[in-house]
Amino acid sequence: MELRHLRYLVTTAEELNFTRAANRLHISQPAVSRLIKELECELGAKLFTRERFGLRLTAAGEKFLFYARRVLQDCEEGIRAVRENGLNHQKLTIGFISTAMESFLSNALVRLSQERPDIDVTVNEMSPGDQMAALRYRQIDLGFIGNPCDEAHNEFELYVLREVLLMAVLPSRDRRAERSEISLGELEADHFIGYLEDKFPGRNRVISNACAKAGFRPKLDLKAGSLIEVLGMIGAGKGVCLMPSDVAGLPHPNVAFIPIRDPLDPVRLAAAWLPGNTNPALHQLIAILAAERSSDTGRTSR
């Protein structure tokens, strides 16, 4: 098996057509078909089935495609790393949710830049779900995913940066918005704004579990794909939500954050990266974040 077999597999899987794949690869269609056949023979499994309008990946093809992409990405990273080493600088690609930049990431990046000006840092604002996908495909080195779901615990190395409390978020014109605190039971009749599961995996479960402790199941009628969308929908009077207290640092016109009287588990804000990622820049930033967390803890204890 050669790398070209993997490249042909990935291109054919993207096109689901031997002729279009051959055009992209600048080779003949029979050559693509032959090399896919060689790969199937070596694996002992059918990777594609022919259908009326093209090709379809088999279950074995879907599974092998994941690893083929990983191998090709590893090779590209290796080439890039060698070239970058020759230029005497490193790269670090980061995904983050907006609250991370506001609360702790910005200061850590400034310190990293001061300590290691040779590191090229790229930051991308992404939802937690998009960050997890980007980590899997090695498109980013480090993600700041907020409260990690069970899936994140199973796949990634995690470092908990801090813990924050959940707060009730209401339209500012709601009569309860003037209160200094609120009990969850008072929200039982309200409609809750939830999250799109693929963008914020596990967040709806956090809301449901908190409400369950108060004896009710929240009506999660509407779903949003970003924190700003949730705040906008609440401000428009579409419902209420439970959100981490650090979200209050984002612009939130017509919205009020109210402390919750009930004892609730805190929400953890975590950094995540793939096991085995040896990028020195990644681990230097984690060390900076750990030092800042230790410093913050010391100030709090005093």
Q: Using one digit for the tens of pLDDT, what is the confidence trace for 257-276?
A: 999 999 999 999 999 999 98
Residue range 92-113, pLDDT digits in tens: 999 999 898 877 899 999 999 9
Q: Does the pLDDT at position 88 exceed 60? A: no
Q: Does the pLDDT at position 21 exceed 90? A: no
Question: What is each CA distance from 111 to 98, 107, 117, 281, in whole angstroms?
Answer: 19, 6, 10, 12
Q: Does the pLDDT at position 80 exceed 80? A: no
Q: What percent of the chain has pLDDT over 90?
A: 63
- The whole-number pLDDT of residue 300 equals 46
- The whole-number pLDDT of residue 83 equals 65
- The whole-number pLDDT of residue 104 equals 84
Structure tokens at 35: 């090399």
Contact 166, 264 (CB under 8 A): yes
- pLDDT (average), residues 206-227: 95
- pLDDT (average), residues 52-65: 88
Q: Does the pLDDT at position 10 exceed 60? A: yes
